[in-house]
Chains A and B, each alone.
Chain A
């Protein structure tokens, strides 16, 4: 190819340097580019994602959970849900896999400086929020109080239970957990996630970052607006089918936005109208 600029679809080999099992079906891989030049030049922001490639099988969009100050070692937490991630589940230390990225806009971590931060997740764990929580803990003095809210259906859906317990013990941090179908092991709140929002007492200057089922985010946003938080201080990470990550394949369209290149993080001000209509 004579073109000076490579195709945006170009994939780069990277080595699996660590593999950790989070729970059954969820693994965290640490990757390092094989090309030393790329290792030096690669940089990303909190909340961005990469396209990970299982050679000969296919690509999936996976958010980066490690810290942007260490871009040489890139961590991804992958939930095994389909054909491609099924192959990724077998990745071992030393394997060479494919990566291209980073893509997307990331979380508003600068805008959040000096403010109380509310992180809301729901359903089965949400890697993008784990990334931003880690990010804030590494720069704890730059942020106000941290509130982490997480609602699950059953206690089995709660991943990273030890991490939640660890965050709970940290200063200036509150963790709110709830389950609507608890068992004996559950010693947190019982009820649906919306009840957590009633419990939340934060100043209207707070900034919110959330990720999870759209119905949960919609209810959360409504409750947060009621607490006087502005719609452009409420951010949500959207999930859509992403195949190209560069705004060309068309799959991740959400009315006027391409979730891959215009998101995945949107303010509620941008999302509000779309949340009213189903099937967009």
Chain B
């Protein structure tokens, strides 16, 4: 399993074809509406070949890249989260039966899913969500059903967006676990690493040669180059204590003047798990679905009970989000809630950068 294989660029179509023959629907990054989104792909030509992404706080552009480069785009707004933690899904069906009612669990649609192009940070985010939905006191059976038997092909990053900081969060740029296969793209070919028995079974059908020592070295050099490109850093040392101690720092008031409380950061975050469950009644009144929808700690209702809103101000809500993400998440789940993907920075309409906010809190520690 430790042997590295060589997959010619043209062979990616064969890999997609084999997965489809095995009954998988293959999803990968697809250029759409000026960004990339995960959608079904039938061939390499569906992927954003020859494109790159230019990301800055509050800004995202697809631009021309290296011709023939298949995985030049680092990421888009959508992570892998929606595949497993659906943005909206029915959990229960409540049917009126005479004066009583029955309740049945609504099973998620059965599917064999293969994801092509999962980045290291997003794989780390899946591990974080697994910890919450599968390995806490209560197991979320809907998440479990969607998560089961997914085939994951990781792509190691050769470029870093300006908003990336996975090095600080120790999640990338190389995928180290949570994949069946991992690809590193070079000029002519991929170096393929096998991560599971399922991955080995699929790749065996392509009868690949071993990668040469030079190719393995080339692949490694590209990942290392990506790491050196990374401009953003988050100093995580003693972070929970810093955020707890600085709960009344005046920086929260300052950031609240810029934050629109729009919820974008929580929607693009690959680990945010807040959700609400609402009843959606059929028009005849005989059936109601309990539907789960993503929710956000930036919404006014999030901490609201009759007559009291526990987090009425934007500074309360931004502090909740950042403190949860980087501090209390660790107390709750033994891991940070941040994987360093940078999406919250890019997709914030006013370009609030959490790495900058943490640095500001550090610099002004003790300031009330």
Contact = CB atoms under 8 A, between A and B. Distances in A.
B149 interface: no
A-B pairs with the 10 shortest C-beta distances? A279-B316, A250-B274, A256-B331, A246-B138, A81-B306, A56-B288, A96-B100, A8-B138, A256-B328, A1-B105
Nearest to B100: A96
Contacts, number: 136
Contacts of B336: none
Interface string B258-280: 00000000000000011111110
Interface of A: 1-3, 5-13, 34, 55-59, 81-82, 94-96, 98, 239-241, 243-244, 246-251, 253, 255-256, 258, 261, 273, 277-280
Given A56-B288, A95-B99, 16 more contacts: A1-B105, A7-B105, A9-B92, A9-B290, A13-B100, A55-B288, A56-B281, A58-B279, A94-B99, A241-B305, A241-B310, A248-B132, A249-B276, A258-B332, A279-B315, A280-B311
Given A10-B103, A98-B103, A261 B137 contact: yes
Q: Interface centre among A2, A7, A241, A255, by most B CB within 10 Å?
A: A7
B119 interface: no
B94 A280 contact: no
A8 B107 CA distance: 14
Contacts of B277: 9, 59, 243-244, 249
Nearest to B296: A250
Interface of B is mostly: mixed
A279 B295 contact: no
B281 to A, nearest CB: 5
A250 B332 contact: no
Q: Interface centre among A8, A13, A256, A278, by most B CB within 10 Å?
A: A256
Contacts of A12: 103
B91 A7 contact: yes
Nearest to B243: A255
Interface stretch (B21-29, B202-210, B217-225, B318-326): B318-326
Nearest to B142: A7
Interface of B: 91-92, 94, 96, 99-103, 105, 107, 132-133, 136-142, 144-145, 244, 247-248, 273-279, 281, 285, 288, 290, 295, 297, 302-308, 310-313, 315-316, 319-320, 323-324, 328, 331-332
Nearest to A54: B279
A56 B313 contact: no
Q: Interface centre among B101, B276, B320, by most A CB within 10 Å?
A: B101
18 contacts: A7-B105, A7-B140, A7-B142, A9-B92, A11-B290, A12-B103, A13-B100, A55-B101, A56-B288, A58-B279, A81-B307, A82-B306, A244-B275, A248-B275, A249-B275, A261-B138, A278-B316, A280-B311
Contacts of B140: 7-8, 248
B303 A241 contact: yes
Contacts of B144: 3
